[in-house]
C-alpha cells in the first residue's frame, strides 16, 4: 500500500507562519483521468503517467513556489487518528503529490494533495467499480481533509456525479467534480478555471455540503459591449451534458446554480439541499444494484421490444463456464414524450408495463425533453400512473437511473411500496416534488424570489425597528439586510431564542450565515452552551465543520464554553464533528486547560479523541495539575525527570519508582512502556 496522502501538520504550521496567511484548508484531489490532464502526442491527446502532476509544478497559479521550496515533508507517514483504519484503494501504481495555492485576498491558503489513479481512464471506460473506488477513498480520508475534488472526463461525468450523490450518505463536506474540454496546460484551456474554481469551492469554507459540478464559461450580456462571464456550480444530480465541444458542456436544465464564480463567489445558500432532521455521521453505500435499464419510447416501438427487456428471469438465462447466471431487470427508467406521455391507444404496450409492475419491477417515468419534467396534464400521461409507473417529475435520466440502482440496493426497504415512496421523495435534491414547500418549487421565478426574500426580510425588520422602506431601488436596504441578518441570527443563537431562529429560517430558507468574524449561529449556540438552539441549527443544515477566522469550529467553541456540557459536545460528535488534535490552536487550548487545572474540560477533550500520550504534545510536569486521571507529560518529560533523580532514593519499597507506580499506575503505564520498548529495540538498555 502507498503512503498516506494526508497532509502533515508541520506543513500547515509552516504555511501559517508565512506573512499574511491567516488560515489554511486541506483538499484531496482524485484524478481519475480525462482530457484535463492529457498530453498532446503526435497531434492527439492521450493520458501519460505522472505528466499532470509534474507539469502542474511549473504553473505558479496552482503551485506557490514559496512553499514548494521547503524541506518539510508534506505527507503524514503514520497517524494515531482513529480514522486511519479506514481502507483506501491506493496502491503503489498511484502517484501522490501535494501543492499549495497562493494566499488569497482574505489571507486564506489552500493546500491540496493530488492522487493520480493508475491506469488513468477515459470516462467512457468508467463503471461502478470506479465509482466505488472514488467513494471509498473519500471515506478513507474524510476526516483529514476539508473538501474533495474529482477530476473526471466529460462523457460520463453526469453519471458519476449522480452516483456519488447517492453513494456518499450524510455528506457534510464539499465534493466537486470537474474536467475540461482542453488540457489544463493548453493555451486557451477551460481546465484552468475549472480546476482552480473547484479547489476554491472545496477548500474555501463555503459550506456547500453536496456533490456538485463546476464547469466553465457561462456567458451573459448586460449590454452588447460588456459580456459577463461566470462559472456556475451545479448540483451533481441535476446536470446533463449538452455539448461535445463547447466549453459550457454541462447545464442544469431544471435547477439554478448553487453558486456562481465571477468577480466574487456568490453562494445561494437557500438552494443547498438539507435533509430534514438531525445530521448523521458520514458513511458510504457503494453496493448499487446493477439490474437497471433505460427504455426509450419511440413511435415504432413494439410490444416484443418491451417484453424482451422486462421478461421474467427464465428468458434472461445464459451460461458461463458451465454455471447458469440469471439476469433480471429490477428497475427501468422509462423515457417518454413531452410531459410524460405514451401512446394511450397502444394497449399492448400498457399491458406489458402493467405486467412488469405486477411482478415488482420498479419503473420511473422521465421526459425525453432537455428541459421540463413529467406532469400529468394530458390523459396520455396520467394513464401511466394507473399502470404502476412512478412519475419522475424533473429528474434527469442519469439521476433517475442511479436513484433506481440506489433504492433497489437498500436491503432495509424490501417492500415495493416503500421503494416506490422513496422514488417519489427527494433524497439528494435530485427532483422537485410537486407541492414541495420550497423556493425551488417555482424555479422560473427564482430571480423574483431573490427580490422578494430581501423584501420579506425588510418587512420583518420593519416590525422590529418600525422603520423600513420597500422602495429600495439603490439596493441600500438590501445591503443592510445582508449585514444585519447574520448578526441577528448569531445573537438569537447566543441567547437560545428559538422563536427568532425559526422565524428567520422561515423567511430566508437557511441559517448558514456568517458574521464579520466568520462565525455561524452554530458557533454562538455552542459557545454559550445552548443545546436546544444547537440542535435546531443542526436540523436546519448548519455545518459543524466551518471554522471562524480564529480557527474555532463549533466543537471547539463548545469545548471552551464557560458552560461546559458533555451532552452538547456529544451531540456535535454524533453529527460528525471532528477535533483536529494536531492543530496549534487545540494544543494551545489544552495547555491552558492543564495550566488552569480544569479537569472537566480536559475530560471533554479526551471524549473528542484527544490523545494526551502523543509525543507532539509537550506539556511540562510543572503545570501543577495533580490528578491521576489526566497524564500531563510526554516521554521526554519522563526521561528528563528520571535522569535528574537521586539514585539513592530510587530503590526499595520507599523508592520513587515504587511510589509512582503505586499511586499513578494507570497514568504511567503507557509512557513507561513506550520508553522501555523504544529503548529495548534501539539497544539502549541491556536485553534480558
Question: Over the chain (688 residues), what is each successive 10-residue block's mean pLDDT?
Answer: 68 84 90 86 82 86 73 47 56 79 88 89 86 94 93 91 95 93 83 90 89 74 46 90 79 89 84 83 91 88 82 45 58 88 82 85 89 72 78 91 93 80 89 57 39 54 49 55 81 90 84 86 93 91 86 91 90 89 83 84 88 52 42 54 57 60 60 55 47
How close are the terminal C-alpha atoms of the chain, in Å?
35
DSSP code of residue 103: P
Asked if 146 and 205 count as a contact pair (C-beta separation under 8 A), the reply is yes
DSSP 3-state of 180: coil
Write out the three cell numbers for 84.
Answer: 486511519
Determine which one of 76, 154, 212, 632 is catalytic.
Answer: 154
H or E element: which one contains 532?
helix 531-539
Handedness of CA 184, 185, 188, 193 (dihedral sign): positive
Q: Give the position of cell 437557511.
A: 510
Instruction: Report the pLDDT value the prediction gives residue 157, as an integer from 0 to 100.
Output: 92
Torsion of the alpha carbons at 303, 308, 309 and 314, rounded to the nearest 10: 140
Number of neighbouring beta carbons within 10 Å of residue 607: 14
Q: Which CATH architecture has domain 9-284?
A: 3-Layer(aba) Sandwich (3.40)
Q: Which residues are CB-contacts of 487 (< 8 A; sequence separation ≥ 6)?
A: 515
Q: Is 623 a catalytic residue?
A: no
What is the pTM (predicted TM-score) of this model? 0.75
The beta strand positions in 10-55, using DSSP E, are 23-31, 39-41, 44-46
Closest CA to 295 of 352, 254, 246: 352
Instruction: Report the pLDDT value the prediction gives residue 195, as an integer from 0 to 100.
Output: 92
Tell me the CA distances in angstroms from 527 to 458, 531, 563, 623, one per residue in order: 29, 10, 8, 26
Write out the three cell numbers for 203.
Answer: 477548500
**The pairing of beta strand 211-214 with beta strand 175-178:** parallel
Tell me the CA distances in angstroms from 398 to 165, 214, 368, 405, 514, one per residue in order: 12, 17, 12, 11, 35
DSSP code of residue 121: -
Instruction: Report the pLDDT value the prediction gives residue 372, as an integer from 0 to 100.
Output: 84
Closest CA to 41 of 183, 190, 179: 183
Beta partners for residue 220, in sequence order:
228
Instruction: Report the pLDDT value the prediction gives residue 451, as an integer from 0 to 100.
Output: 42
Q: What is d(CA 215, CA 57) in angstroms, rounded to the nearest whole number?
A: 23
292-316+325-437 under CATH 3.50.4.10, yes or no: no
Asked, colleague to colleague, whether 9-284 and 292-316+325-437 share their fold, the answer is: yes
DSSP 3-state of 219: strand
Domain boundaries, the chain: 9-284, 292-316+325-437, 450-669
Asked if 67 and 15 count as a contact pair (C-beta separation under 8 A), the reply is yes
Determine which one of 35, 76, 156, 286 is catalytic.
Answer: 35
DSSP 3-state of 366: strand
Q: Is 390 a catalytic residue?
A: no
Q: Which CATH architecture has domain 450-669?
A: Alpha Horseshoe (1.25)
Q: What is d(CA 680, CA 672) in angstroms, rounded to the nearest whole number?
A: 12
Amino acid at each position: 500500500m502507498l503512503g498516506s496522502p494526508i497532509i502533515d501538520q508541520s506543513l500547515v504550521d509552516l504555511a501559517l507562519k508565512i506573512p499574511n496567511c491567516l488560515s489554511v484548508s486541506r483538499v484531496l484531489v482524485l484524478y481519475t483521468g480525462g482530457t484535463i490532464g492529457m498530453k498532446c502526442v503526435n497531434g492527439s491527446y492521450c493520458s501519460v503517467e505522472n505528466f499532470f502532476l509534474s507539469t502542474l509544478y511549473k504553473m505558479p497559479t496552482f503551485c506557490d513556489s514559496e512553499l514548494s521550496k521547503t524541506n518539510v515533508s508534506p505527507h503524514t507517514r503514520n497517524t494515531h487518528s482513529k480514522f486511519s483504519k479506514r481502507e483506501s484503494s491506493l496502491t503503489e501504481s498511484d502517484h501522490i503529490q501535494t501543492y499549495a495555492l497562493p494566499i488569497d485576498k482574505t489571507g486564506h491558503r489552500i493546500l491540496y494533495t493530488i492522487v493520480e489513479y493508475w491506469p488513468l481512464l477515459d470516462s467512457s471506460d468508467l463503471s461502478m467499480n470506479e465509482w466505488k473506488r472514488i467513494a471509498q477513498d473519500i471515506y478513507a480520508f474524510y476526516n483529514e481533509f476539508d473538501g474533495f475534488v474529482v477530476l473526471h472526463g466529460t462523457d460520463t461525468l453526469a453519471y458519476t456525479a449522480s452516483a456519488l450523490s447517492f453513494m456518499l450518505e450524510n455528506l457534510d463536506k464539499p465534493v466537486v467534480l470537474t474536467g475540461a474540454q482542453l488540457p489544463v496546460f493548453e493555451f486557451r484551456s477551460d481546465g484552468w478555471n475549472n480546476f482552480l474554481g473547484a479547489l476554491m469551492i472545496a477548500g474555501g469554507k463555503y459550506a456547500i455540503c453536496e456533490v456538485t459540478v463546476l464547469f466553465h464559461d457561462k456567458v451573459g450580456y448586460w449590454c452588447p459591449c460588456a459580456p459577463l462571464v461566470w462559472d456556475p456550480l451545479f448540483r451533481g444530480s441535476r446536470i446533463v451534458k449538452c455539448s461535445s465541444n463547447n466549453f459550457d458542456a454541462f447545464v442544469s436544465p431544471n435547477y439554478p446554480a448553487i453558486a456562481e464564480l465571477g468577480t466574487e463567489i456568490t453562494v445561494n445558500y437557500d438552494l443547498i439541499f438539507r435533509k430534514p432532521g438531525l445530521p448523521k455521521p458520514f458513511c458510504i453505500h457503494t453496493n448499487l444494484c446493477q439490474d437497471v435499464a433505460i427504455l426509450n419510447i419511440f413511435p415504432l416501438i413494439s410490444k416484443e421490444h418491451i417484453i424482451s427487456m422486462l421478461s421474467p428471469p427464465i428468458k434472461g438465462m445464459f451460461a458461463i463456464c458451465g454455471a447458469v447466471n440469471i439476469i433480471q431487470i429490477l428497475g427501468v427508467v422509462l423515457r417518454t414524450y413531452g410531459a410524460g406521455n405514451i401512446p394511450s391507444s397502444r394497449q399492448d404496450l400498457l399491458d406489458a408495463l402493467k405486467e412488469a409492475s405486477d411482478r415488482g419491477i420498479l419503473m420511473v417515468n422521465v421526459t425525453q425533453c432537455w428541459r421540463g419534467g413529467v406532469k400529468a396534464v394530458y390523459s396520455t400521461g396520467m394513464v401511466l400512473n394507473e399502470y404502476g409507473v412512478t412519475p419522475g417529475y424533473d429528474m434527469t435520466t442519469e439521476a433517475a437511473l442511479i436513484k433506481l440502482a440506489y433504492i433497489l440496493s437498500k436491503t432495509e426497504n424490501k417492500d415495493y411500496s416503500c421503494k416506490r415512496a422513496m422514488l417519489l421523495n427527494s433524497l439528494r435534491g435530485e427532483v422537485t416534488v410537486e407541492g414541495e414547500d420550497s423556493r425551488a418549487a417555482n424555479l422560473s421565478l427564482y430571480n423574483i424570489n431573490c427580490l422578494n426574500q430581501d423584501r420579506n426580510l425588510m418587512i420583518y425588520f420593519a416590525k422590529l425597528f418600525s422603520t423600513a422602506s420597500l422602495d429600495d431601488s439603490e439596493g441600500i436596504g438590501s445591503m443592510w439586510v445582508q449585514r444585519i441578518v447574520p448578526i441577528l441570527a448569531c445573537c438569537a443563537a447566543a441567547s437560545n431564542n428559538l422563536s427568532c431562529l425559526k422565524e428567520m429560517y422561515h423567511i430566508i430558507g437557511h441559517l448558514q450565515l456568517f458574521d464579520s468574524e466568520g462565525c455561524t449561529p452554530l458557533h454562538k449556540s455552542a459557545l454559550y452552551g445552548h443545546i436546544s438552539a444547537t440542535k435546531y441549527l443542526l436540523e436546519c443544515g448548519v455545518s459543524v465543520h466551518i471554522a471562524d477566522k480564529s480557527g474555532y469550529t463549533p466543537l471547539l467553541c463548545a469545548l471552551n464554553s464557560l458552560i461546559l456540557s458533555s451532552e452538547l459536545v456529544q451531540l456535535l460528535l454524533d453529527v460528525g464533528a471532528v477535533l483536529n488534535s494536531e492543530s496549534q490552536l487545540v494544543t494551545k487550548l489544552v495547555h491552558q486547560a492543564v495550566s488552569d487545572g480544569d479537569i472537566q474540560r480536559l475530560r471533554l477533550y479526551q471524549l473528542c479523541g484527544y490523545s494526551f500520550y502523543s509525543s507532539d504534545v509537550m506539556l511540562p510536569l510543572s503545570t501543577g495539575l495533580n490528578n491521576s486521571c489526566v497524564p500531563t507529560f510526554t516521554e521526554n518529560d519522563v526521561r528528563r525527570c528520571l535522569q535528574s533523580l537521586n539514585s539513592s532514593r530510587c530503590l526499595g519499597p520507599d523508592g520513587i519508582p515504587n511510589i509512582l507506580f503505586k499511586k499513578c499506575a494507570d497514568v504511567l503505564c503507557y509512557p513507561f512502556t513506550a520508553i522501555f520498548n523504544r529503548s529495548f529495540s534501539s539497544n539502549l538498555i541491556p536485553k534480558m
